[in-house]
Amino acid sequence: MRLFRCACHSGLSYWSNSARAPADVGGGASLPRTGGPVDASVLADLAAASRILADQGVVDAFGHVSMRHPHDPQRFLMSRSLAPALVTPDDIMEYDLNCDCVDAQGRGSFLERFIHGEIFRSRPDVMAVVHSHSPNVIPFGLVKTPMRAMFHNAAFVARGVPVFDIRDKFGATDMLVGNADKGVALAKVLDDKDIVLMRAHGSVATGPSLPVAVFRAVYTEMNARLQFQAAMLGGGGDIAALDADEGALADKVNLSSASRAWDLWKRRVGF
């Protein structure tokens, strides 16, 4: 009997291909089928991403990062509910796009996993998603002043930064994107952009790879801080931010150079 390593498990157990749970077609109580085994280096990278975001001050006790399953676009990988700085490869679980876990084994899921599932569903180009409450970004979700790209590393900001106000569709809530309807509404506001702010809550950064999504989350926070400084320094006058053309040109460079930051940040967290 051929044995496959479960993509979302600690590695202590194996299951056979023939014993896979039935597909989740039509919903019901059956568990989703796995997208297949995932290389240990992928799980390590996702755990590293979580720790990098903590190390870089983007997440604290809260926030999370996910990536699309490398062999199945209908699945994604994400840690069990845990503070990001504590995540290890053994904590990574696999979900379908309804955010049902393939094999939870009693482990808890993040309430806001629907942010990830619905963005992966609506944006086939997105391969990784970061959700954070990084502090300098939050004011930009509260006021009318739009976030603009202060420097080349934050070039993606020049494409525009939509703000999701959960109140628009759902009235008074606990502010959390805790179900599929709220995830769909958030993904709709993100539209084709790279980041979206969430009023009185935080933000989401996306990317075509895990390193780029992490890069964008880190530089969204830094860009917010720099915009405060520029606004103060300029006495509220005009800010000579990157325009859309400059942003598009600089983002191309960032997409290829994000790996340098990734290598450095990964080293810092011991991966």
Active site residues: 112
Q: What is the DSSP letter of 152?
A: G
Distance CA 268, CA 229 (A): 27
Which of left, alpha, beta for 104 (phi over 0: left; psi -120 to 50: alpha)? alpha
Count CA atoms within 13 Å of residue 120 on its CB side.
29
Kind and range of the H or E element at 164?
strand 163-164
| DSSP bridge partners of 94 | 77
Distance CA 268, CA 25 (A): 43
Distance CA 66, CA 77 (A): 6
Task: For 72-125, give the DSSP string.
Answer: EEEEEEEE-S--GGG--GGGEEEEETT--BS--TT----TTHHHHHHHHHH-TT
Q: How far is CA 80 from the centre of its chain?
A: 14
- Which of 105, 108, 120, 106 has its CA nearest to residue 75? 120
